[in-house]
Structure 1
């Protein structure tokens, strides 16, 4: 039985190089300290319409945007309930894509998997073969497989799913959207979602979903859908009131407003370019000292999974760097990869210089 561990006031600040949560600007944190106000006041309408419309501008989309108090997991459930009647296709190549399939099954949907070894990317040709052989309500894809550092070819898969007009394309971009550019409408993505604590570099607590007109209309035709994350419920309330249908985490939305202004000032193209530069540096460093776990062609732009070819003590290295450098990065995901790999999150507000500070520390501690 878990025992209480009292939260203290003397923790040292750590620089986060995790696959999320990641670093948050001081002024973004400070924005959460405004006096509280009611979620049905005009002030809330000003706040919520600002963050929704700014998000659409940043992502370069005319599609609808929903911002809910939740983690990205909410939209695994909501998109499945809103778009899938019976059958869903989910390619799996790591822990989170497997979890997406499991969520759909727990919701009573029939799920066909296209299974890949961890570290491999989804092959679009396999998706097309599956769609030619069976009819599916939706294809679910994890764009950035956080457990293995794989970026799946979302653009190619979106283009081919568009050839099957009765099948909707749902993309989990939780650990990459905002740092890895994707043209949502050009590649016919019906629903794409993320969490604020990843590449958006905001505090945890909000989930963001971009919804196509076709996906909205699809839900209208269904007899049942998600209540909390229902497209109609969320978007119709926004159209009428400019607010959320349920009480939101107002302080985190205030932080969202501040950070999204920073993101707009940088611009999506520049933000994407900075993330590519960080990814290139981290992969080059990994090849010099270890290896990169996935193949280079499909390596993530926000999380590098490093293959521990030198057999260093991953857990011990992480602990020492935490204690001596006040930096935190992540071991490999799950029991299979925990010591065979480690992961560096290069997303949000980091740059090459800040990533170099971590890799220098790893070199010192691991005696590379």
Structure 2
């Protein structure tokens, strides 16, 4: 049994370069300290409608937006319940896409996997071939945009274009670790459901799930008898349309932080934010190739999380620990036992820039004697 470890107030601050949570602006943190108010007051309507409409503006979508108190992975479950009667095709290329398939199985759905070796990207032509040749009529094709366990960025735009040719099949995208830091035209590419977590590229505290839902996905849920209660599209969207609020009590302080951060994101602009993340990713890849190697398939590298192959055989865990102690920087080892010492990961998302990423890579060079 786990023993209690008392939480104290003497922890050193660490600059976060992990795949999330990431760094949060001081004024965004301060926004959480406003006096508490009721979630059925007019003040809450002002707050939540601001959050939702600002998110729609930032993402450049006409689709409905839902913001709930949850991890973004709430929508693995909710989208499956809302859209899948029987059959779902999940493209798996790492730990998180495999979990999406596992969730659907736990919910009693028939799951077919289109499996790729870790580090390889999902190919639109493989999706097309599967849909053309399978005897199964799929209710949903699901794909992760950014597989943070391997640092792969899947071409969801092209995949969405393929799925669009099958009007009875819906396209669900897990963008937990990329939305807000890697631009995608949601409406142009037939993305019916796309979701993210607040603590990743949005650079907010953890605790909110953000989801954009197409009209077609909303209408599809109306036909099902097994929709999610908490994350149901009809329940959340209709309540917003009637009341301008969430159907259940939200984490109000985090909503206040969200409001503040979204204003910063709108000021920067989606294209400029995308370009800044692109520059960080390019710098990190160039550094990694000079000293190590990149784990993902070439041409499919993530814009928010670099998974770097440990070609020099450094002590990954020891390097992470020493960099943390000496520089107060935190970055990540490879994900799980499969990649633990074979790779390490740098999160370059949120409010970081090339200069701050360079500070980390300089620290790694120092500690690893590169």
TM-score w.r.t. the length of structure 2 is: 0.99
Moved over 3 A (4+): none
Structure 1 equivalent of residue 344 of structure 2: 342
Query: After the TM superposition, which residues 258-337 of structure 1 pair with which residues of structure 2 at under 5 Å, given as runs?
Result: 258-337=260-339
1:207-266 deviations in Å (ceiling 9; x for gaps): 000000000000011122000000000000000000000000000000000000000000
Query: After the TM superposition, which residues 170-181 of structure 1 pair with which residues of structure 2 at under 5 Å, given as runs?
Result: 170-181=172-183
1:125-175 deviations in Å (ceiling 9; x for gaps): 111111112310000100000000000010000000000000000000000
Gaps of 5+ in 2: none
CA distance in 2, matches of 1:154, 1:125: 12
SS at 1:111 equivalent: strand
2:158 to 156, 159, 168: 156
Query: After the TM superposition, which residues 1-368 of structure 1 pair with which residues of structure 2 at under 5 Å, given as runs?
Result: 1-132=1-132, 133=134, 134-368=136-370
CA distance in 2, matches of 1:223, 1:292: 45
CA distance in 1, matches of 2:18, 2:121: 22
**Structure 1 position 30, deviation (Å):** 0.2
RMSD: 0.4
CA distance in 2, matches of 1:336, 1:76: 24
**Structure 1 position 107, deviation (Å):** 0.3
**Structure 1 position 71, deviation (Å):** 0.1
1:243-291 deviations in Å (ceiling 9; x for gaps): 0000000000000000000000000000000000000000000000000
CA distance in 1, matches of 2:341, 2:68: 36
CA distance in 2, matches of 1:80, 1:22: 28
CA distance in 1, matches of 2:273, 2:197: 17
SS at 1:297 equivalent: coil
SS at 2:299 equivalent: helix
TM-score w.r.t. the length of structure 1 is: 1.00
CA distance in 2, matches of 1:57, 1:91: 30
CA distance in 1, matches of 2:224, 2:162: 25
CA distance in 1, matches of 2:188, 2:73: 25
SS at 1:85 equivalent: coil
**Structure 1 position 73, deviation (Å):** 1.3
CA distance in 2, matches of 1:295, 1:234: 38
User: Aligned residues, how many?
Assistant: 368
